[in-house]
Structure 1
Amino acid sequence: MSKPKTCPIDTLKLGSCVDVLGGLVHIGIGKSAKEKCCPIIEGLVDLDAAVCLCTTIKAKLLNVELVFPIALEVLLGCGKKPPPGFQCPAEISPVASPPVAKPPTATPPMAKPPTASPPIAKPPTATPPIAKPPGTTPPIAKPPSATPPIATPPTSMHKPNTCPINPLKLGACVDVLGGLIHIGIGNNAKEKCCPVLEGLVDLDAAVCLCTTIKAKLLNINLILPIALEVLLDCGKKPPSGFKCPA
């Protein structure tokens, strides 16, 4: 049995319960008060439950004459029946709370002899990379400079009695000459022949006409006299007595 007029539990557990009761002085008991109080006083006998509430109300410095009547109603609501005419004792014995374990006093740590601290490993200094001597690079072969082509002297002049141009260029000229055997030379013959013969020397111009006439399978004996007249009109003077080479 617990001592009379002594709360057998830690009154701090009833703190939230009493806070709710203090707020219900002029309101009335609600569900919240029972939820806060009943679980804590459930394991106490009726008288102990009443004493614990008194103790906690006084510890909270609340007006016990106002709050305790509400506390009695809560006790009844929690199934506790304090003795009839119970009143909070004027002087309540100290709460039988479990002794608070004092934390062990921190004993100052013994001054340990200074241990030789290991040397701090310095970070390795970054050594600059050793510049390797440049290897002997093979000389870069320079592209051969473009030497201007040596102008080779013109070979010996074309063979005598040969045409130095393509005789086909004189084809139109000879065609006109073949149609003039019995007519005579006109402007059309000059227009066809003179521009082609312009860059040739006199003898070459005559030989080219002979070559083209033979290539056309025309009668050279008939056409050559007309061709010689065209040469003269084009400013060319073949040697006197010129004949087509055999």
Structure 2
Amino acid sequence: MESFGPWSLVAVRSVLAALVAGSCLLALRVPLPERRHLPGLAVVGAGVVLGFPLLTTLALRTSSTAHAAVVVGLLPLTTAACSALRTGHRPTRRFWLAALAGAAAVLAFTVGQSGGALTAADGYLFAALLVCAAGYTEGGRLARVMPGWHVIGWALVLCLPLGTAAAALALTHEPVHLTGHGVAGLLWLAVGSQFLGLVVWYRGMAAVGIPKASQLQLAQPLLTLVWSALLLGERLTVAAPLTAVAVLVCIAVTQRS
């Protein structure tokens, strides 16, 4: 966001990732997905390719990376809950008690950091949790019947027309200030986070199941806090890592339930 506006950043990263994914699919002559898989791929595209990146980027205009990381720490719980609704699996009472405790910790943190009230940034982040959980759940389900990289690859390609139009529009309305730091961040988001990271993520979800795989994101809040301090020079408040640890403990209980 040092170089691009939020709309430009999300649109351009999705276009670049789609071009990489499309080139791989074309080079390996991967057949088109079956029509029955298109609704699920559309959910993956709407949730993981467009919705989650856009909502979190909009939140980061006024929220620190550390603050966002703690809120997004609820994503494993949200994904497990979405998977339970989608597949009909019913977790134990112990699972839900731990989930509610984690949610309470995050809500207390967000309200405390915003001076006693939830902000627009928090609204974006909580909406991002819902759309990303839906995308992860559908992607994990599809990865059981097709390779994981096909799932994210076709989802990216399906979003290419919309992403291209959005990028052309956003770049004409938002200022662009190219820096080495900003361009490197964009390339990492497109190739690493948007494509390669999800390739191995969906493969893992297919191998061990959606609820269990979702708990592997336990380390994400703490890792994000560390990287935000190292790469962006953000100062961490005492509440941020304490809340992140509390969330990790709660989700660890759900993993053992």
Q: TM-score scaled by structure 1?
A: 0.24
Larger helix proportion of the pair: 2
Q: Which has the higher contact order (CA 8 A, sep 6+)?
A: 2
Please tell me whether Structure 1 or Structure 2 has the larger radius of gyration of its CA atoms: 1
